Amino acid sequence: MSKLFKLRRWVTLSDAAKYLEGAFTETVSEADILQLALDGQLKLSVNFVNPVEVLLGTLTPKTEIPYETVLGKNGQHFRRYISMQHQAEDGEIYLFDKNDPIYTLRGVCDLTLDDRSRLKIERRYHSAVGGPLLADIEEDGAMLQVEDQQLCSFEMQFEEPNDLENFGGLETPEFLIKAMAESGLKSDELLDFFQKRLRLMRRTSKYCYLKHIPDDCSYVIRQNSLTDFINLVNGSLNNENKPLSTTERNTLLKLVIGMAVKGYRYDPAASKNAATKEIADDLAGLGITITDDTVRKYLKQAADAVLPAKPRQS
């Protein structure tokens, strides 16, 4: 990886393909990047160059999720949850209330591949490889994950309040200060009110919901996601070609000799053992072809390596 790459927080799909080509010394296309994302091997992100409206998720314990009890056709009651939910990979639940303030999002967020966003990426993938044209979808919203707070920003939308005490919406700092001055509230009440509104204005969330993915956004890959994927693949390849360590080899030999002695009454001190043929026959019954001599060879290695000089007779 180049020094320039290490300084970039995210890269385009075409650049990501070039980096993977250099890392794996094989041809990689943008379609390959999309397929890796659809397969869950690589995290796909979206760069919103223009602000988009989102709802911020609120981390909510399962016992506090609002619901209403509904009578079903079978006469039994069941729960119908009022607000949209998203359950993260770690099991935490984020609640999205349509009455919550609207925020604008700008920057890079990860795309969680739910049914709607997955279909949108699949349409892009099939278009790239010349595959079948998938049907359009009426709703193409997306659940976004904020993996890196430095790559995106939220800004609360503002509107002018009419009544400070009864106002539950949003306000600009100028309107807020003016309304506070004219409210007649006590100083401690004003301070409490201002602090609550300030927390609301500075709010962020790990998850946000976007009703519509705009055409002017671009799909990208975060640098951390790309390097993690490269390290994961290289690590898997290295492990495939890596010889067993002494500890790993001795552990396997202990398992082999232990099962032979206890399961087949193999005698390491005897010059001849019927157990070797019995083991080979049982393996053959499982479709594993190993000769008696091979079994005898490795049992002897196991006995010499891990058993005491004078093993006890079984």
The whole-number pLDDT of residue 1 equals 57
Helix, strand, or coil (residue 281): helix
The mean pLDDT value for 55-65 works out to: 90
Report the range of poorest mean pLDDT among 97-101, 208-212, 242-246.
Answer: 242-246
List the one residue out of 34, 44, 41, 10 whose CA is nearest residue 143.
44
144 alpha-carbon distance from chain centroid: 12
Residues 10 and 155 in one domain: yes
Tokens at 234, concatenated: 């290289």
Q: Are the C-beta atoms of 207 and 57 separated by less than 8 Å?
A: yes
Mean pLDDT in the chain? 81
Same domain, 250 and 155: no
Q: What is the pLDDT of residue 314?
A: 47
Same domain, 157 and 107: yes
Are residues 9 and 156 located together in one domain of the fold? yes
Same domain, 223 and 255: no
Mean pLDDT within 47-64 = 92
Asked whether residue 50 falls in the same domain as residue 111, the answer is: yes
pLDDT at 190: 62
* Domain match, 144 and 258 both: no
Residues 164-201 have pLDDT tens digits of 444 444 455 565 666 666 666 666 666 666 666 666 66
Residue 80: the pLDDT is 85
Number of domains in the chain: 2
The pLDDT value recorded for residue 226 is 92
Residue, of 45 and 255, whose pLDDT is higher = 45
- Report phi then psi at 195, rounded to 5: -65, -40
Quote the radius of gyration of the chain (alpha carbons, Å).
Answer: 31
Q: Which of the four pLDDT bands, split at 50, 70 and 90, describes residue 110? A: very high
Same-domain check for residues 135 and 265: no
User: pLDDT per residue over 231-282, tens digit each?
Assistant: 888 876 555 556 667 777 788 888 888 888 888 888 888 878 888 888 888 8
Q: Compute the residue count for the chain.
A: 314
Q: pLDDT-derived band of residue 312, with 50, 70 and 90 as boundaries?
A: very low
Q: What is the pLDDT of residue 208?
A: 92
Cα angle value 173/95/164 (rounded, 5°): 25
How confident is the model at residue 167, as a pLDDT? 45
CA angle at 16 for the pair 22 and 27, rounded to the nearest 5°: 45
**Whose structure tokens read 């008696």?**
292
0.85 exceeded by pTM:
no
Domain that holds residue 288: 246-306
Q: Are residues 216 and 265 in the same domain?
A: no
Cα torsion 202, 206, 210, 216 to 10°: value is 90
Residues 226, 257, single domain; the answer is no
> What confidence score (pLDDT) does residue 168 get?
44
Backbone angles phi, psi at 100, to 5 degrees: -70, 160
pLDDT for the residue numbered 260: 86
pLDDT of residue 240: 55
Mean pLDDT of 149-173: 62
